[in-house]
Amino acid sequence: MQSSRRFNPTADGRAGQPPRPRRMPFMSILAGRGGPGLLLTGCIIVAATVALLLRFSPAAADPVPASETPTYGHVSISPGSVSLDTAEYAQFTATLYDSNGQVVTGVDATWSALPEAGSISSTGRFYATGKPGLYHGAVQATMAGLSATADVQIVHVRVFFPCVLRGYASKRLPNDPLYPQQWAYAHINAPQAWYTTVGDGGPIVAVLDTGVDLTHPDLAANLVPGATFVSANDNCPAVPSSPSDDNGHGTHVAGIVAAVGDNGVGVAGMNWHARLMPVKVLDCTGSGGAEAVQAGLHWAVDHGAKVVNLSLGAFSASSPSPFLAEGINYAVSKGAVVVAAAGNLSPGIASGTPSWPAAYPGVIGVGATDSSDKVTSFSNYGYFVDVVAPGYSILSTYPRSLNAVGYAY
C-alpha cells in the first residue's frame, strides 16, 4: 500500500505562539466578469517596444532621422512630418488618418482606429508613458520612398521604454485602516488594477490549506461552503467538522486572495469580492497527507472552483505521490487554474530539487520576493518556478481564536 506523504504549508505559524512574520509565496489578482484573470507577478520591469502604426496621406516628406536625444519627448505626427520636442512627460500621441487621408474624429471612430495604431488606453487617453533617455526615434523613411511599394500608407514610429502603458492610469485605494501596511500592492500596481475592477464575485477560488476563520469580519462576506478532509491524530485530537482554521496559515492565505476591500475593516485582499472556498486538507500542525490533498482537489473542482491555491508542498527528485499527481491532473483537466508555492526551504535543500505540486505540468509555481523586489533568501528556485511575487512580511487576516486582533504578518 502506498504510504501517505506529508505536506507542509509554506508559511510558519503555530498555535499558542505570537504571530511571526509570514512567508507567503504569492499575491494574486482574480478579477474579471465571466471568468478569472490572474496577475501573479511582483513588480516585473519588462523592456518593451511600442510600434505606432499611423496612416498618412501619400505626400512626400523629408527623411525622418533616428533621434538619440536622451530627454523626455513628445512625438507629434502629421502628414509628412515627425518632430521630437522636449516635454515634461513622455506622451507619445498621434493624429490618426484613415485610408483616404482624412483625420479620424469622434469617440467611436477613434476606438476603431486605435488598435491599428498600436496605442490604446482604457482610461480614454491614447498614449503611453515612458522614462527619460529611452526615446529611440523613428525609422528613416519617406512617403515618396514608400510609394514605390504599391499603395503603402503606413509609417512605423518605434519607441522604447521599460514599462509600457504604466504610470498614467488612475488609481483606486481602499479605505481599510490597515491598508497602508500592505506594502506589496504598490509593487504590483494593484491600485491601478482596482481602478478598472475590484472583482465582481464571479470566480470561486478554493484555498486548500488549514481551513479558514469562517466568521472573520474581513472574510465572511466572501465565503462559500467548503469541506474538510482531515482526520484526528495524536497531534490534533480535536479536528473541527467544518473547514475552520486551527493553525492560522489558511486564514492568512485566504485574506491575501480575497479579504473584503474598502469595507472600512482591517485589510484588503487582491480581489475584494472573489468567492472563497475553504477546503481543509492540513491539520492543526500544518501538515497533511497526499490523499487528503487529492480528495480536496476533486471536491473543489467538482463544486465550481475555477482557481485552486496550494500554499503547501513536499520536496523530492520525482513526484512524491501518485495520489497528489492524480488530483492535480484532474483539476487541470477540468480547466481549473492551479497555483502552488515554490517553497520556503532554500538554501536548506538543493535549488534543483523540485517542490511538488509546484513542479507538476499545468501548475503555476510561485516564488517569493521582498519589499526590494528581490527573491527572498528562503524562497526555493529552479525550473519549477514560473514567476515570483511579494511573499515576505505580508499583513493579512488571522484566526481570532489564535490572535484576538484577527490580523498578522
For the ranges 168-177, 185-194, 264-273, 353-362, the lowest mean pLDDT is seen at 168-177
The C-alpha atoms of residue 320 and residue 216 are separated, in whole angstroms, by: 35
Q: What is the mean pLDDT of residues 398-409?
A: 97
Q: Does residue 404 carry a pLDDT above 70?
A: yes
Q: Does residue 344 carry a pLDDT above 70?
A: yes
Q: What is the mean pLDDT of residues 177-195?
A: 94
Q: What is the pLDDT of residue 195?
A: 87
Which has the higher per-residue pLDDT, 43 or 182? Answer: 182
**Which of 381, 378, 194, 207 lies closest to 270 in space, CA to CA?**
194
Tally the residues of the chain: 409
The C-alpha atoms of residue 132 and residue 115 are separated, in whole angstroms, by: 26
Q: List, for residues 277-318, the tens digit of each pLDDT value.
A: 999 999 999 999 999 999 999 999 999 999 999 999 988 888
Q: Does residue 110 carry a pLDDT above 50?
A: no
**Which of 52, 51, 55, 76 lies closest to 143 in space, CA to CA?**
55
Q: What is the pLDDT of residue 159?
A: 35
3-state helix, strand and coil shares in percent for the chain, rounded to the nearest 5: 15, 20, 60
**Which of 328, 308, 312 lies closest to 230 in space, CA to CA?**
312
> Three-state secondary structure along 196-227?
HCCCCCCCEEEEEECCCCCCCCCCHHHECCCE
Which has the higher per-residue pLDDT, 69 or 109? Answer: 109
Q: List, for residues 51-80, the tens digit of each pLDDT value.
A: 222 222 223 333 323 333 322 233 333 333
Q: What is the pLDDT of residue 154?
A: 36
Pairing assessment for the beta strands 337-341 and 363-369 based on DSSP bridges: parallel
Which has the higher per-residue pLDDT, 34 or 246? Answer: 246
The C-alpha atoms of residue 33 and residue 197 are separated, in whole angstroms, by: 9
CA 116, 149, 160: angle at the middle one, nearest 5? 45
pLDDT-based confidence at residue 351 (cuts at 50, 70, 90): low
Residue ranges per domain, the chain? 6-44+168-408, 48-161
Chain CA centroid to CA 280, Å: 24
What would the grid cell of residue 263 be?
469595507
Q: What is the pLDDT of residue 347?
A: 63
For 22, 160, 396, 398, the CA distances from 18, given in Å and listed in that order, are 12, 49, 15, 12
Side-chain half-sphere exposure of 116, counting CA atoms within 13 A = 17
Alpha helices in 284-361 (DSSP H): 290-302, 322-333
Contact in structure between 357 and 324 (CB atoms under 8 Å):
yes
CATH number at 6-44+168-408: 3.40.50.200
Contact in structure between 88 and 73 (CB atoms under 8 Å):
no
Q: Does residue 208 carry a pLDDT above 80?
A: yes
**Which of 379, 328, 314 lies closest to 9 in space, CA to CA?**
314
Q: Does residue 264 carry a pLDDT above 70?
A: yes
Q: What is the mean pLDDT of residues 243-260?
A: 98
Rg (CA), the chain: 26
pLDDT-based confidence at residue 113 (cuts at 50, 70, 90): very low
Highest mean pLDDT among 122-126, 178-182, 236-240: 178-182
Q: What is the pLDDT of residue 257?
A: 98
pLDDT-based confidence at residue 102 (cuts at 50, 70, 90): low
Q: What is the pLDDT of residue 59?
A: 30
The C-alpha atoms of residue 377 and residue 145 are separated, in whole angstroms, by: 57
187: helix, strand or coil = helix
Contact in structure between 364 and 337 (CB atoms under 8 Å):
yes
Work out the mean pLDDT of the chain and round it to a whole number: 69
Contact in structure between 207 and 251 (CB atoms under 8 Å):
no
Q: Does residue 325 carry a pLDDT above 80?
A: yes
Q: Does residue 173 carry a pLDDT above 80?
A: yes
Q: What is the mean pLDDT of residues 332-342?
A: 97
The C-alpha atoms of residue 324 and residue 341 are separated, in whole angstroms, by: 15
Q: What is the pLDDT of residue 348?
A: 62
Q: What is the mean pLDDT of residues 142-157?
A: 36
DSSP run (H or E) holding 389: strand 387-390
Those residues with Cβ within 8 angstroms of residue 97's Cβ, 6 or more apart along the chain or in another chain: 54, 55, 56, 57, 79, 103, 104
The C-alpha atoms of residue 362 and residue 338 are separated, in whole angstroms, by: 7
Q: Does residue 86 carry a pLDDT above 60?
A: no
Q: Does residue 391 carry a pLDDT above 50?
A: yes
For 25, 288, 388, the CA distances from 349, given in Å and listed in that order, are 17, 21, 19
Q: What is the pLDDT of residue 181?
A: 97
Q: Does residue 323 carry a pLDDT above 60?
A: yes
Highest mean pLDDT among 112-116, 126-130, 194-198: 194-198
pLDDT-based confidence at residue 119 (cuts at 50, 70, 90): very low
